[in-house]
Structure 1
Amino acid sequence: MTVISKWTDMTKGWCRKSGAAICLATFALSLGGCTSSLDMFGSTDKVDRSISTGTIPVKQQSDTSISDEATVRNAVTSADLNKMGDTPLPWANTATGSAGVVSVIREDNDQGHTCRAFRTTRHSYEGIAVFAGQACMTGSGDWMLTAFDKQG
């Protein structure tokens, strides 16, 4: 019977050290995927240059106010002025939640086409406002809003 002796301290220590090194390398490489998009050293130009900035543009008319204007125009132009007299004309826009009351409608035929000047309130999420407007009939018989100006 032959006995072979080995020195196991060196092999066990080497396995422990190499196992720790492998774990550390695996951990470091897995973090590389998480940080590769940070570009910490500025090596690439990742800024989207197609977007330009500048001054703030003039406030465009919102879809809400356009929808409300169309609702007011329809109320004013479909009103029977002979039956209405001095009675206020309520309107409501279910699409925007706005509502108001047209208090004055005056029809004018002076320039060869029919126009209706009016005054209305608008109650909306922005508050209550008074508007003066005008709708005129076009040559094709459609009504077009030619003025809708916020007062005061």
Structure 2
Amino acid sequence: SSAPSAPAVPASSDNDSDQTTIGNAVSSADIQELGGQAVPWANAGTGSRGSITELVELKDGGLTCRRFNATRESFDGVAMYQGELCIADAGGWRMQEFKAL
């Protein structure tokens, strides 16, 4: 007898998980202490890793945002992204933009 195989997890769920991991690293980074150094990140759930560079914090009319570039190294290759994370009304960080370059 054979057991049914588990459904394949779509690659987009890995990307979403990595995006969340990158967002967490961006929101928790101490920009003053970094002094322009890259922030490494890794996602044990997907096996992906990379670094966050060009991390800057901007304040516009009371809205605080962080812009960044990130690399993602995974089994399917290396990709570069550009993103922006802003503090939402509830006080938590929210990804405003995350696009492949």
Partner Cα separation in structure 1 for residue 91 and residue 49 of structure 2: 27
Q: Is residue 2:92 matched to residue 1:142? A: yes
Map of 1:124 onto structure 2 = 74
Provide structure 2 residue ranges, at least 5 long, that are not aligned to the other structure: 1-9
Q: CA deviation at 1:111?
A: 3.3
Partner Cα separation in structure 1 for residue 32 and residue 85 of structure 2: 18
One-letter identity of the residue aligned with 2:94: M
The share of aligned pairs that are identical, in percent, is: 39
Partner Cα separation in structure 1 for residue 11 and residue 58 of structure 2: 28
Structure in which a larger fraction of residues adopt strand: 2
Larger RCO: 1 or 2 (CA < 8 Å, sep 6+): 2
Question: Alignment length, in residue pairs?
Answer: 92
Structure in which a larger fraction of residues adopt helix: 1
What aligned pairs does 1:1-152 form with structure 2 within 5 A after superposition? 62-151=12-101
Partner Cα separation in structure 2 for residue 119 and residue 72 of structure 1: 10
One-letter identity of the residue aligned with 1:64: D
Partner Cα separation in structure 2 for residue 82 and residue 120 of structure 1: 19
Provide closer, same or farther for how the CA distance between residues 98 and 61 of structure 1 changes in structure 2, counting only shifts above 3 A: closer
Output the TM-score relative to the length of structure 1.
Answer: 0.58
Segments of 4+ in structure 1 off by > 3 A?
Answer: none
Provide structure 1 residue ranges, at least 5 long, that are not aligned to the other structure: 1-59
Q: CA deviation at 1:86?
A: 1.1
| Higher gyration radius (CA) | 1
Q: CA deviation at 1:128?
A: 0.3
